[in-house]
C-alpha cells in the first residue's frame, strides 16, 4: 500500500469537476494539468510535478474528439514520465453504441476501434460505466485490466431519497429489460417493458405499455438519453396506460440537439441521471447525482488506497 503521496489524480479538461470529486472522495490532492493553446491550434500539456514511480489516476470522458485525444495524451504522458501505473476511469465512452458493424456497410465500429486506441496507449487499468455493450471490454489482447462499473446500487440509494410515491420501472424495449428487472429487485418494485420497433437508424415506434403503470409513477429507464425520441414515445404510452406521473432514469445524459426542449414539452416531469456526461448539473428538469463515490470505491479497492 502506497502512502498518499504515491498517487496523482488528474483529468482531461472536460472531466475536471468529476476528477476533483474523485480525489476528494479518496482523500487525495487533485492535480490540475498545465495547458496552453498555441496559435496554430496545437495543445500544450505538462504535469506540474514529477509523477515517476507514482500511481497515476486519470478521469476522462471521451464524448468529443478533443477529449478522446487528450485522454490518449495523458496516458502516453504517464508512460513517458515513468508512472508506476496508469489507471483510467472513463465516465462516458464516446461511440460506445457503435460496437459492431452492420453487414455490407463497411462502417467502422468505433466503439471497438476507439477502445483499442485507449488500450494500445498501455494503461494498466481501465474502468467503464454502464456500457451499452460489453464488447469494448474485450478489445485488447489481455494485457489491460478492465472493469465494467454498474451504477445500480448507487441509483437505488438516490431513488429512495426522492419523493416519487409508488412507482413502476419501465424499460423502453425488451433488450434493456434484464437491467431494469435487476434494478427493480433491489428497489422491491414492479417493472415492465414497452413494445418498441426500430424502422430506421434513429427512428423507432413504441406501440404500448402494460397497465401495471396505472395509478402510479412510471420511471422509464435506459442506459443513455441521446435525442430522447423513444423515451418520449414511451412516456406517451405510459400516460395512455394510466400512469399518474412520469420520470426518466438514465446513466448518461447526452441530451443531444433539442432533446431538452422536447422533454420540457412532454409529460415527463423529471430526468434523473449521473454526471458522467460533462456539463450535466441539476436544474428544473435534471436531477443529477455524482458517480465520484462509486469511482473512488473502485479505485480504492483496485489500488489498495488506505
Report the side by side order of strands in the sheet with 270-274.
191-193, 167-171, 217-225, 245-253, 270-274, 286-289
Q: What's the CATH architecture for 152-289?
A: 3-Layer(aba) Sandwich (3.40)
Which stretches of the chain score pLDDT less than 70? Answer: 1, 196-208
Residue with cell 445524459: 253
CATH topology of 4-150+292-303 equal to that of 152-289?
Answer: yes
Q: What pLDDT score was predicted for residue 306?
A: 79
Angle between helices 292-303 and 16-26 (to 10 degrees): 50
**How do residues 173-199 score in pLDDT, each as one tens digit?**
877 889 999 999 999 999 998 875 554
Length of the chain: 306
Domain definitions of the chain by residue range? 4-150+292-303, 152-289
Helices 65-80 and 110-120, interaxial angle, to 10°? 20
Fold of 4-150+292-303: Rossmann fold (3.40.50)
**What does the pLDDT read at residue 25?**
98
- Rounded to two decimals, the pTM is 0.93
Amino acid at each position: 500500500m502506497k502512502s498518499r503521496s504515491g498517487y496523482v489524480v488528474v483529468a482531461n479538461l472536460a472531466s475536471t469537476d468529476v476528477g476533483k470529486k474523485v480525489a476528494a472522495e479518496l482523500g487525495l490532492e487533485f492535480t490540475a494539468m498545465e495547458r496552453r493553446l498555441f496559435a496554430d491550434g496545437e495543445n500544450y500539456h505538462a504535469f506540474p510535478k514529477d509523477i515517476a514511480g507514482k500511481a497515476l489516476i486519470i478521469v476522462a470522458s471521451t464524448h468529443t474528439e478533443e477529449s478522446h485525444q487528450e485522454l490518449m495524451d495523458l496516458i502516453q504522458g504517464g508512460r513517458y514520465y515513468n508512472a508506476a501505473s496508469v489507471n483510467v476511469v472513463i465516465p462516458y465512452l464516446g461511440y460506445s453504441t457503435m460496437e459492431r458493424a452492420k453487414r455490407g456497410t463497411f462502417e467502422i465500429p468505433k466503439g471497438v476501434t476507439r477502445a483499442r486506441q485507449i488500450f494500445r496507449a498501455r494503461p494498466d487499468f481501465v474502468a467503464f460505466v454502464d456500457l451499452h455493450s460489453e464488447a469494448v471490454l474485450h478489445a485488447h489482447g489481455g494485457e489491460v485490466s478492465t472493469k465494467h462499473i454498474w451504477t445500480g446500487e448507487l441509483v437505488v440509494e438516490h431513488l429512495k431519497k426522492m419523493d416519487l410515491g409508488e412507482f413502476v420501472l419501465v424499460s423502453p424495449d425488451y433488450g434493456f429489460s434484464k437491467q431494469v428487472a435487476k434494478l427493480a429487485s433491489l428497489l422491491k418494485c414492479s417493472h415492465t417493458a414497452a413494445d418498441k420497433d426500430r424502422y430506421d437508424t434513429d427512428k423507432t415506434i413504441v406501440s404500448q405499455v402494460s397497465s401495471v403503470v396505472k395509478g402510479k409513477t412510471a420511471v422509464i429507464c435506459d442506459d443513455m438519453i441521446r435525442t430522447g425520441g423513444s423515451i418520449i414515445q414511451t412516456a406517451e404510452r405510459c400516460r395512455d396506460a394510466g400512469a399518474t406521473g412520469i420520470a426518466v432514469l438514465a446513466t448518461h445524459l447526452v441530451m443531444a440537439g433539442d432533446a431538452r426542449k422536447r422533454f420540457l414539452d412532454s409529460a415527463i416531469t423529471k430526468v434523473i441521471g449521473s454526471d458522467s456526461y460533462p456539463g450535466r448539473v441539476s436544474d428544473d428538469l435534471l436531477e443529477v447525482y455524482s458517480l465520484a463515490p462509486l469511482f473512488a470505491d473502485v479505485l480504492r479497492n483496485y489500488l489498495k488506497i488506505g
